[in-house]
Amino acid sequence: MKILEAPKRGEFYRIAWQSALAASICLGLPAGLLFWLILLQRIMPSHPVERLVTFLQNNGVLEIIGTLFGAFGWGIILSQISGYRPWWRLAVASMLGVYVGRRLFWIIYYWFNYDFSNMPMHVGFLIHISGLILSITFCTGLAHGLALPNWKAAVTLASITAFASVLVTILTYFILDGLGIRVGTGNAAMPKVTAICTMMAGVIGGVTLGVMFSRFVGETRN
């Protein structure tokens, strides 16, 4: 059985920081764009930002479209980072993974139809955001592995990327809670928590996916 070799230290750092930068811009920012704009409006009120926030709130489909465009860009950049040349496969895989992950989460959510009203708001919110991130990152990792195509890569990328993303989401959530930023207590706590948690999940998930995908690409070449 062939063992996956880790990239050299210099190569590892290059892949890691490039993946982190690309993921923050292409994955984390679009996922929490509405909430970042809400926070920006509170810090520096302006009519253009207020109109944009209202427009996005009234047209939820634009958030999905923006997220898919970000996923498309992530696929192209990951192709350059990893050296995997069929960039269109990664672009399609990224968009498909994000879209299916979002849909799957809501299907399961409505299927179980669990009533969160019997628990504290901040606990229900943590379950909600963790479940959404779990579904999206798992499906995205799975789609990237199948783009190789490699079932071992698919299972590995899906499970480890999802684990890392959910773990950092929970840790970030509790850190913010410890700092007094708790969902349900006012002072725009929900937008703050959502924006920061989605950004952290995007960055860590992107680094994990970028490094591991590059390893599998190197293994395929060898």
**Domain ranges within the chain, ordered by starting residue:** 9-221
Q: What angle do CA 50, 21, 16 make, to 5 degrees?
A: 155
Report pLDDT for 1.
34
Overall average pLDDT of the 36-64 stretch: 89
Higher pLDDT pick, 114 / 147: 147
Overall average pLDDT of the 27-31 stretch: 92
DSSP string computed for 43-83: HS--HHHHHHHHHHHH-HHHHHHHHHHHHHHHHHHHHHHHT
Q: How confident is the model at residue 220 (pLDDT cuts 50, 70, 90)?
A: low
Overall average pLDDT of the 140-150 stretch: 93
* Contact (CB, 8 A) for 98 and 143: no
% of the chain surpassing 70 pLDDT: 94
Q: How far apart are CA 80 and CA 86, in angstroms?
A: 10
pLDDT at 169 over 60: yes
Report pLDDT for 4.
46
CA-nearest of 57, 71, 62, 127 to 99 is 71
Identity of the residue numbered 3: I
Report pLDDT for 59.
82
Q: How confident is the model at residue 221 (pLDDT cuts 50, 70, 90)?
A: low
pTM above 0.75, yes or no: yes
Report pLDDT for 137.
96
* Contact (CB, 8 A) for 195 and 133: no
pLDDT at 222 over 70: no
Report pLDDT for 189.
94
Higher pLDDT pick, 61 / 97: 97
